[in-house]
Amino acid sequence: MTVVLGGASSGKSDFSEKICFHSGLEKIYLASAQAFDEEMRTKAEQHRTNRGPDWCTIEEPFAADRVISEVREGQILLFDCATLWLTNHFLADHDLERETESLLSAIRQCPAQIVVVSNEVGLGIVPENALARRFRIAQGALNRRLAEEAGTVVGVMAGLPFVLKGALPEGLL
């Protein structure tokens, strides 16, 4: 598994897609976003258009573990993103520890390559409200767990990748 971390609009999704294209494998896109308004629907459609037609897109806001468990060897899955997946569970008041364990278990057992996109939320100021602080703590914990399991962890800032753990595939940059 490769984890790609970065701030909002840092280029982490573009870089993650580049990893998938470079792999030469059959590409699956696991989208966790829920499009509740026109802006989000437009953004999702633009991402779909930018990726092109050679992706199988699966929209699943909660059961990422189920989708991951169905991926086969010879495929690469881009999970974009763990932050929205966590948000969905957080706002639904689900058991985050249980959901995280289920996600990590599916990732460990998956024979395919996986690229997980996640937001780095710990670089800013301390949020002013308790809900935002609880979420920041939960996101930080999820990112640490994902990074621990990953063979490669990449940060992206201003569209530029920097390796935090492991190594990028040769010829990617």
Q: Which of 22, 47, 89, 94 is catalytic?
A: 47
The CB-based long-range contact list for 95-99 (8 Å cut-off, 24+ gap) reads 96/138, 96/142, 99/65
Q: What is the number of other CB atoms lying within 10 angstroms of the CB of residue 6?
A: 25
Yes or no: say if 26 and 138 are a contact pair by the CB < 8 Å rule: no
Q: Which residues pair with 30 in a beta bridge?
A: 58, 79
- Tell me whether residue 22 is one of the annotated catalytic residues: no
* Whole-number Å distance between alpha carbons of 41 and 29: 16
Are the C-beta atoms of residues 49 and 58 closer than 8 Å to each other?
Answer: no
- Active-site residue numbers? 47
